[in-house]
């Protein structure tokens, strides 16, 4: 796994991966990344306690919230989560799936991000589970090194 000196270097590298492996183009500007407490993130995303680790909100635009528990600089699974959110930034920047109704558009954007998230992780011998249209985790303590 590549080492990066700054979060911005990592973001640029992940955007390069996205533009190389998908039809997406670079966004007009780099997104703002905010690390926040997981319980604060859950409140923003779910309005209650939930297991969310990252969110690209509709407002503020061009912003990604990541749980402070994540370390994308050193953990490939966490790096995949950042890539997933960067895909949402690019989708919003380029009005992808804009002709669909809101619910369908949200689902299509999530499916597209999940597929590319898995393609990215597969290059490192990893993958994610997803169910009900969202990334999921095994409810087990087994140390299965395949799944993030």
Is there a domain that residue 42 lies in?
Answer: yes
Question: Whole-angstrom Cα distance, residue 21 to residue 124?
Answer: 15
**Residue that is written with structure tokens 């635009």 in the block:** 61
Number of domains in the chain: 1
pTM for the model: 0.91
Range of 30's domain? 7-136
91: left (phi over 0), alpha (psi -120 to 50) or beta: alpha
Smallest CA-to-CA distance from 121 within 70, 79, 61 is with: 79
Is there a domain that residue 2 lies in?
Answer: no
Smallest CA-to-CA distance from 41 within 60, 58, 57, 61 is with: 57
pLDDT digits (tens, 9 = 90+) for 10-47: 999 999 999 999 999 999 999 999 999 999 999 999 99
Is there a domain that residue 147 lies in?
Answer: no
Is there a domain that residue 115 lies in?
Answer: yes
CATH of the domain at 88: 3.40.390
Is there a domain that residue 110 lies in?
Answer: yes
Question: Whole-angstrom Cα distance, residue 82 to residue 85?
Answer: 5
pLDDT digits (tens, 9 = 90+) for 69-105: 999 999 999 999 999 999 999 999 999 999 999 999 9
Is there a domain that residue 43 lies in?
Answer: yes
pLDDT value for 148: 87
Is there a domain that residue 20 lies in?
Answer: yes
Q: What does the block give as tokens for 45? A: 């995303």
Is there a domain that residue 144 lies in?
Answer: no
């Amino acid at each position: 796994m590549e080492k990066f000196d700054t979060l911005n270097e990592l973001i640029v590298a992940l955007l390069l991966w996205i533009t190389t492996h998908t039809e997406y183009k670079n966004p007009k500007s780099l997104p703002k990344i905010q690390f926040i407490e997981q319980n604060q993130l859950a409140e923003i995303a779910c309005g209650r306690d939930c297991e969310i680790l990252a969110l690209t909100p509709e407002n503020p635009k061009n912003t990604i919230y990541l749980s402070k528990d994540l370390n994308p600089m050193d953990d490939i699974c966490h790096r995949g989560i950042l890539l997933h959110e960067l895909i949402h930034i690019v989708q919003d920047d380029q009005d992808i799936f804009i002709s669909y109704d809101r619910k369908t558009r949200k689902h299509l954007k999530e499916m597209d991000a999940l597929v590319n998230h898995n393609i990215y992780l597969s290059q490192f011998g990893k993958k994610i589970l997803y169910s009900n249209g969202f990334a999921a985790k095994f409810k087990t303590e087994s140390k299965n090194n395949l799944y993030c």
